[in-house]
Amino acid sequence: MFPALHTFHIPVMGTCYTADTPARVAPFGISSVVSLVDDLLLERFRKIYAEEYKLQYEPIPHRELDGRAKRITAYLNTLAEVVKIRFEAIKKQPFFSKNDKAKYFEMLPTGHPLRVLYLKLMGMKDSPESEREEIEATLNHGMVEGSIDVNIMVKLDRLPPNPDGKEPLGLEWTDAKTALKGYAKSSLKNSAIVFSAGINQSLYNYMAQFKEFYRNAAGELGKRIIIKASDFRSALIQGKFLARKGLEVSEYRIESGLNCGGHAFPSQGQLLPTILKEIHSQRGLLHQFRETVVNFYKSKGWNTDAAKEAPPPKVTVQGGIGNHAEDLRMREYYGIDGTGWGSPFLLVPEVSPVDEETREQLIKATPEDLYMSDASPLDIIFNNLRSSGSEIWHKKQAEKGTPGSPCRKGFLQNNTEFSETPVCKASRFYQERKLKQIEESDANEEKKEAMRKRVHAKQCICDHLGNSGLIFWNAEKTENAPQAICPGPNVAWFNRSYELQEMIDHIYGRREDLTPPERPHMFAKEVEMYGDWFALQVERWDGDKEYAAWLKVAAKNLDEGMDYCLEVAQTTPFPGENLASIPPTVEIERKRLMGNLSVLEKKCEYF
């Protein structure tokens, strides 16, 4: 298994906010995740880096057959080259200097053998060179790059039109499959692909044709599989399905259903601490598929030794973690192997390519400025920033009488209400027709206005999510490139720009907490967000009795989850952990939950 140096990773953030993060942090041994949604954006990033490092660059035309896979492969190969160049440059730097090599070792987790050895060496500055040489050689040998990982949101699996306009493309040309192919064919080693947003059996079946995801003759996995899930059951289902194909899951990333950045996928009221409790007690079930994998290898006549001896999959967690105390809660109380830290790194210029205007908005953002929005054309909850460049741009378009956006990329085209060919709900084509339909409907004015707001809320996130990074690199001008951004609510408690080393020392508890003591516990924030979510579901309930039954189970799960949160609140807090914020939040949200449940039951009687 890949020897990760750090106990945290940087998850995918939008299409651009971690697009080049590996080039920035992998040379320091830190792993991060690149989104493969927007191959056209990655092509522009490839040109930027090729020019900076004088690497070969041949543009891959937009309409070239298999161009999407080729662009992804080319970008990942360029990223690997850049990381190697930067890593080797750091490795060659001398010890006993204030340089990136010192930074590399100083940022390692407290107690890591390499960091301990490095600090020992730093105390030997006046010792004879012969006494230091062996330690220096050991430290140099122990340096490794961080993993360059990628993410595929499996729900984004559009079948694009044929570039030559002839017969429709076959199903192997869908966006998710061509992204997978582009990754599989890349030169990345000791890398992983993260599958998020549910299960896509067709995609998993397609993956089985790539040898890169199986162990080679030496028993090594060149490309690992990571499953991101918001509940334990989903993790088990996906692990079982993949094992039947002989595919091993190296890691399960458990993410809060709501307390995260980007698209949010609420569970049926199952709170993160409840899920962590279940995983802690039943973790062995995640390793039950090893025999299935071994039998698959046997059926192929492959060497089964390495598959038999494969270690249990790692389990990591992400979603709203904000300080060292909560990080310790995950790793020491629940026995989690590592954590994901996303949104705080949006305020670290060394890590994320955020334009100055948007970063300043994030710095000034209050908890009220971070909200669960209807911005996604997929009709999936989208964690958003109020008054972002994209939101302002869309409002101006609506005010001018030209609602919606030109659909330049089409990754989110999935609606056929007004056309045979799928279109995007943020497009001008869709919004003009939908607004006209609303005007001609028999609904009263209050209901019409509510429907109009939901139409106008849709934002062109597949294009606008990439603009901030392009502005950062001077490849676009702010006035021509509305910026969308999708931070988690946690970022509201960080109030300035930070240096990379400063943020990592915060994660590892080696400095004063960067967040204020009044910041609510991540568990308390999640309870509040699920309260908001449930209230919205009740408000928008349209008479679907099956969904009402589903919501009633969700309410029961939420109620039980809040009971467990109160149990956690009674445990000994880790230093700096605001467990005291949990009970008052639970009291408020339980009353609100019961009130909304009562409203739902009355609505059911009416229908």
Query: Contact at 8 Å (CB) between 31 and 10?
Result: yes
Q: What is the mean pLDDT of residues 53-66?
A: 92
Query: Contact at 8 Å (CB) between 423 and 407?
Result: yes
| Lowest mean per-residue pLDDT among 336-345, 381-390, 407-416 | 407-416
CA distance 285 to 300: 25
**CB neighbourhood size of 460 (10 A):** 27
User: What are the angstrom distances between the C-alpha of 503 and each of 8, 20, 118, 322, 358?
Assistant: 12, 18, 21, 11, 19
CA distance 181 to 186: 9
**CA 406, 375, 473, 361 torsion-angle sign:** positive
Closest by CA to 493, choosing from 511, 508, 506, is 506
Q: Which two tokens stand for residue 407?
A: 């659909």
CA distance 138 to 132: 10
Per-state percent for the chain, helix, strand, coil, to nearest 5: 50, 10, 40
Q: What is the pLDDT of residues 159-187, one digit of tens each?
A: 787 776 667 778 888 999 999 999 999 99
CA distance 51 to 176: 29
pTM of the full predicted structure? 0.94
| Lowest mean per-residue pLDDT among 72-76, 163-167, 451-455 | 163-167
User: What are the angstrom distances between the C-alpha of 566 and each of 278, 364, 547, 587?
Assistant: 16, 32, 28, 10
Element (H, E) at 240: helix 232-243
Q: What percent of the chain has pLDDT over 90?
A: 83
Q: What is the mean pLDDT of residues 320-347?
A: 97
The residues, ordered by sequence, that sit 6+ positions from 373 with a Cβ below 8 Å of its Cβ are 381, 382, 383, 384, 457
Tell me the fold of 8-124+141-336.
TIM Barrel (3.20.20)
**What residue spans define the domains of the chain?**
8-124+141-336, 370-484, 520-607
The residues, ordered by sequence, that sit 6+ positions from 400 with a Cβ below 8 Å of its Cβ are none
Q: What is the pLDDT of residues 559-595, one digit of tens each?
A: 999 999 999 999 999 999 999 999 999 999 999 999 9
Residue 269 has pLDDT above 80, yes or no: yes
Q: What is the pLDDT of residues 178-224, one digit of tens each?
A: 999 999 999 999 899 999 988 899 999 999 999 999 998 888 888 99
